[in-house]
Amino acid sequence: MNLPTVLLTGFAPFAGDTINPSREVVRALAGRVIAGHRVEIAELPVAFAAARRELAAAIDRTQPALVLAIGQAGGRACVSLERVAINLIDARIADNDSAQPIDEAVIANAPAACFSTLPVKAMRAAMQAAGVPTELSFSAGSYVCNAVFFALMHRLAHHHPGARGGFIHIPYLPAQAALHPGAPSMALDTMTRGIAIAIETALSHASDIRAIAGTLD
Ligand code: PCA
Taking only the tens place, the pLDDT of each residue in 112-162 is 999 999 999 999 999 999 999 999 999 999 999 999 999 999 999 999 999
Q: What is the pLDDT of residue 1?
A: 65
Tell me, yes or no, whether 128 lies in a domain: yes
Tell me, yes or no, whether 149 lies in a domain: yes
d(CA 136, CA 106): 23
Containing H/E element for 5?
strand 5-11
Q: What is the pLDDT of residue 95?
A: 98
Q: Which atom from ligand 1 is nearest to the alpha carbon of 70? A: 6
DSSP 123: H
Interval 197-207 mean pLDDT: 97
- Which 3 state secondary structure label does DSSP give 180? coil
Tell me, yes or no, whether 146 lies in a domain: yes
Give the domain range for residue 64.
5-204
Number of domains the chain is built from: 1
What is the residue with the minimal CA distance to atom 2 of ligand 1? 145
Q: What is the pLDDT of residue 217?
A: 76
- Which 3 state secondary structure label does DSSP give 104? strand
Taking only the tens place, the pLDDT of each residue in 149-183 is 999 999 999 999 999 999 999 999 999 999 999 99
Cα(172) to ligand 1 centroid in Å equals 11
- Which of 72, 137, 173 for mutating ligand 1's site (highest number of atoms within 8 Å of CB)? 72
Tell me, yes or no, whether 216 lies in a domain: no
Question: Distance of CA 186 to CAs 82, 178, 190, 217, Å?
Answer: 18, 12, 7, 26
Tell me, yes or no, whether 217 lies in a domain: no
Tell me, yes or no, whether 189 lies in a domain: yes
- Which of 24, 48, 143, 191 for mutating ligand 1's site (highest number of atoms within 8 Å of CB)? 143
d(CA 101, CA 117): 27
Q: What is the pLDDT of residue 196?
A: 98
Q: What is the pLDDT of residue 105?
A: 98
d(CA 64, CA 66): 5
Q: What is the pLDDT of residue 162?
A: 94
pTM of structure: 0.98
Q: What is the pLDDT of residue 216?
A: 86
The dihedral sign for the CA sequence 168, 174, 175, 179: positive
Tell me, yes or no, whether 200 lies in a domain: yes
CB of 143 sitting under 6 A from ligand 1: yes
Tell me, yes or no, whether 212 lies in a domain: no
Supply the CATH number for residue 157's domain.
3.40.630.20
d(CA 31, CA 68): 15
Taking only the tens place, the pLDDT of each residue in 47-101 is 999 999 999 999 999 999 999 999 999 999 999 999 999 999 999 999 999 999 9
